[in-house]
Amino acid sequence: MKKILTKLFYVSLLGMLFLVLSCSGGSDTFESEVTPSEKETSDSEELLSFNYDQLGELRDHLEESGVDVSNLELGERPVAAKGEALPASVIAYKITTKSYHPNRSGSLINTSAVILVPNKTWLNRLSKHRIIVAPPPTYTYDLSAPSNAFKGSFKFTDDGTYNYLSVWALQANSGFVVLIPDYPGFGSSLGQCQHPYLDAEALSVSTLDLLKATRTFLSSKGYKYKPELIITGYSLGGFVAASLARKIETTPSLGYEVELLVTGGTPCNLKQILDIARNSQTTERSYFIPYTLWGYKMNAHPYIKVDDILKEPYASQSLKYFNGYEADPDKYLPNKPADLYTEDFIKNLDTDPKFSHIRSLLETNSLKPWKNKCKFVMIHGTSDESVYYQNALDFADQQNKSGGKVTFFDAPLFGHVAGIAPYYVKATLYTSSHK
């Protein structure tokens, strides 16, 4: 009897040890003790509205800036009663919900987004609207977060900071509902976490939480929606869009379907992008890699030694450039990789064991091919020297060879910033045909 009890004791001990080990591993998972009701708390507020004439002004500005939106018709101008203003055609709301902290601790942060909806005419009450999920391009300044860009008023800026958002107001006028997420670390989560830049899982999870809150919001306002999604984005938005679509299509239990995926200027193979940058004489966007490093280190990967990668004073000072209050971190960083990165990092990234975790993170977060069911369209500028053209072209080739299917368009002579214009042409064309 004593032997049996002793054996049972050791079996139980081993079982407990296995349980502890299995629960402590996997820093890429989002598990917590948070109750569902606590996580699903959400709120909304109206930010502003656009009438017919204001949408016309947005359309004119976009055309003047080289973005062809001629296929987005405004429809007939409504008639206002004498002495009254034109009714709203599109309304912008801010929604706020809870999402997991990108450090994988299981704690919660507030996440927010803008939802653009057509005004509730009798026809819009009866219609089912297609939801467009449109994560935005990279930004470092909290005022560039969508919920702040639409707060109170919307003005075109000379540097194009917020101008891309106006395309989606025109799409909403066409009968779509458009969800534009604030990224974690901005909007309602400013100061609650470091933005998890190029962290595919963290950005996908927060966007899914906002999508769920969007559906709840639409139902509460009396809007009907179609179950299949359109997902689209440029630059970082393209990275998030493709990562999200892949997650949805490879995880049926999430309960979502994707009708159309359109991306532009998309970072796909992160290691390849870094390899080209670190071996170049100069780069167009010096802040991309430091932004990525700090996003990883300040969230799920605190063991990263930034001074192994960045030279001083950038290793010790660059975090403050990404606190949400700097619109242009590049003005503080050299455009020569030899001045920004350590010689060891440039020469030995591929061979030195101390860089193995960086290689692994870049591989983990790179976009992987999958057998997509949705229509998938990519466009990329051939002169893009920030998110290099070759990385997107290689991914499209791998996607097609892996049993998926992607339609790839070149944007000849377009760089990364200017490439957003031909992307919008394709995005509006394809979304309009999948209404």
Q: CB of 288 within 8 A of CB of 386?
A: yes
Task: Confirm whether 349 is domain-assigned.
Answer: yes
**Residue 96: its H or E element:** strand 88-100
CATH code of the domain in which 196 resides: 3.40.50.1820
Residue 219 sits in the same domain as residue 346? no
256 and 384: one domain? yes
Residue 356 and residue 377 in one domain: no
- pLDDT of 25 > 50? The answer is no
Indicate if 222 and 151 belong to the same structural domain: yes
Other beta carbons less than 10 A from residue 304's beta carbon: 15
Cβ neighbors of 234 (< 8 A, separation 6 or more) are: 137, 164, 263, 264, 265, 266, 419, 420, 423, 424
The answer to whether the beta carbons of residues 300 and 104 sit under 8 Å apart is yes
The token duo for 221 is: 């306002």
**Share of residues in the chain with pLDDT > 70 (%):** 88
pLDDT (tens digit, 9 = 90+) per residue, 215-258? 999 999 999 999 999 999 999 999 999 999 999 999 999 999 99
CATH code of 307's domain: 1.10.260
**pTM score:** 0.91
Residue 6 is assigned to a structural domain of this protein: no
pLDDT in tens, 394-414: 999 999 999 999 999 999 999
Q: Which domain holds residue 173?
A: 45-76+88-269+366-433
Q: Which residue has the tokens 């467009």?
A: 132
Domain count of the fold of the chain: 2
User: Is 18 a member of any domain?
Assistant: no
Residues 207, 146 share a domain: yes
pLDDT over threshold 60, residue 33: no
Return d(Cα 190, Cα 325) in angstroms, integer. 10
Residue that finishes a domain, picked among 364, 385, 407: 364
Q: Do 359 and 350 contact (CB within 8 A), yes or no?
A: yes
In a domain, 68, yes or no: yes
User: Residue 345 has which token pair?
Assistant: 């990092």
Check whether 32 has a pLDDT greater than 90. Answer: no
- Are 225 and 253 in the same domain? yes
Query: Could you tell me if 251 and 394 lie in one domain?
Result: yes
Residue 407 lies in a domain: yes
- Number of C-alpha atoms within 13 angstroms, CB side, residue 247? 19
Check whether residue 409 and residue 348 sit in a common domain. no
| Closest among 337, 396, 344 to 367, alpha carbons compared | 396
> Are 327 and 403 in the same domain?
no
17 within domain boundaries: no
Segment 116-139 shows an average pLDDT of 87
